[in-house]
Amino acid sequence: MILRTYGALFMTLFAGSVTAQTNDALFKDSGWSTHFQFTGVVQGYPHFSSPYSGQNSLQPNGQHAYSVTTTAYLGHSLWKGASLFWNPEMAGGRGVSSTLGIAGFPNGETFRIGNPEPTVYTGRLFLRQHIFLDKDHFEQLADDQNQLSERVSTSRITLTLGKFSLGDFFDGSNVSHDPRMDFMNWAFMNNGAYDYAANTRGYTFGFVAELVKPSWTLRVGTALEPIYANGPDLDEHYFHTNSENVEFEKRYTVKGHKGVLRLLGYYNINHAPKYRDVINEKLDGTDTAMDVIFGKKYGGRKPGFGINGEQELGSSVSAFLRLGWNNGKTATWAFAEIDNTVSGGIRIYGDGWKRKADNIGVALMTNGISNDHRDFLAAGGYGFMIGDGRLPNYGREDIAEIFYECKLFANIWGTLDYQFVEHPAYNRDRGPVSLFAARAHVEF
């Protein structure tokens, strides 16, 4: 705890110093962008009903856990339309029950890493190039995290190459996408059935091309898969394993209120074994490990799609809706052990009670898995996040989340969060579980 606190304090002071310097006259129009964030989360739950537990179960005795991340966002212009970004990051702590036992895990700021000590690493390092297609119409992009203040064509091609998160580009949302500032659950952060390529901390190496028009965007991306399920290292054998992604985003207005519709498709090839093959190997005695974390050969294929919408309902209310599906035949390899999902909710901003920077969020989701995935868990199998050793009574994992976020001081927010999980890890015999959290967020 002491190491985490001092590490976070150091990075806060460092980033604050750098940010302050960029406001000096010498730094204005220098082509630099510097930002910083710190997020700390304390989360816990009381004892819940559990007649049995397995290797990857949510532990039934009450627990609490603390997680922290700090990120510096550094960017610099290179030549016309080009910029380079680097995000050194530090993360420490852990999720409740070692980040196991709930498919839609309740803290999107945690990783499935055993060592809770703070670790510094490069989160993102990428090159971006804008190619202008319209020389007569321009828009001004504001300085932000991983975004320079720059004037760009309203019709353009944007190319990004390097290390990043596919979630930076695909399945975005202005209502539910950032566990540091809005809903905390993994499967509210992104479509739970979107098994997007990433290492344990959520990053990959890849290439994304975007065709941006005034009212729509088409983006395609290709990226590296992890060597094993949710593993820290990425497989560099690109022609044997990769993730292909495509998304069409349409922006529109209804009676003066903005809305966005996104249609996503993806296709992964990796080491992921088929659930049915693992079951058969146990039945014929070939392999009784019931482990899908380490695949034996390339060729695991997973197609999937997602529908993502957001809509302003008024001057201070916005809503979101996500639907997602993957074939559920091959094992989950990177994100969440969810094969189909529906989620939706609203954000109410504080204009009505004269707290403009505050907001309330309320959301619901229901997650499910395929028949093959269900039979695998019932036979005693486990993935990288769930597995109770048996599954005699399957049920959809239903989750509700509500939070209140309050701006405490300049650049500092505090949040109280509550989540209710019914049938954790799709098991009707265990739970329900109530989880309580407090979050502190600093952003420059």
Q: Does 33 reside within a domain?
A: no
pLDDT band at residue 6 under the 50/70/90 scheme: very low
The rounded distance, in Å, linking the Cα atoms of 122 and 198 is 14
| pLDDT score recorded for residue 116 | 76
pLDDT tens column, 252-296: 999 999 999 999 999 999 999 999 999 999 988 887 778 899 988
Domains held by the chain: number: 1
Q: Does 321 reside within a domain?
A: yes
Of the two residues 27 and 317, the one the predictor is more confident about is 317
| pLDDT score recorded for residue 17 | 46
Provide the percentage of residues in the chain whose pLDDT is more than 90.
Answer: 88
| pLDDT score recorded for residue 115 | 67
| pLDDT score recorded for residue 112 | 73
Which CATH number belongs to the domain containing residue 242 in this structure? 2.40.160
| pLDDT score recorded for residue 8 | 45
What is the DSSP secondary-structure string of 303-314? EEEEEEEEEEEE
Of the two residues 218 and 288, the one the predictor is more confident about is 218
pLDDT tens column, 395-411: 999 999 999 999 999 99
Q: Does 42 reside within a domain?
A: no
| pLDDT score recorded for residue 289 | 79
Residue range of the domain that includes 419: 2-24+56-443
Q: Does 389 reside within a domain?
A: yes
| pLDDT score recorded for residue 285 | 85
The rounded distance, in Å, linking the Cα atoms of 400 and 5 is 31
Among 281, 277, 170, 295, CA closest to 226 = 295
pLDDT band at residue 29 under the 50/70/90 scheme: low
| pLDDT score recorded for residue 114 | 60
Cis amide leading into 432 (omega within 30): yes
Q: Does 244 reside within a domain?
A: yes
Other C-beta atoms within 10 Å of 214: how many?
11
Q: Does 50 reside within a domain?
A: no
The three-state secondary structure class of 228 is coil
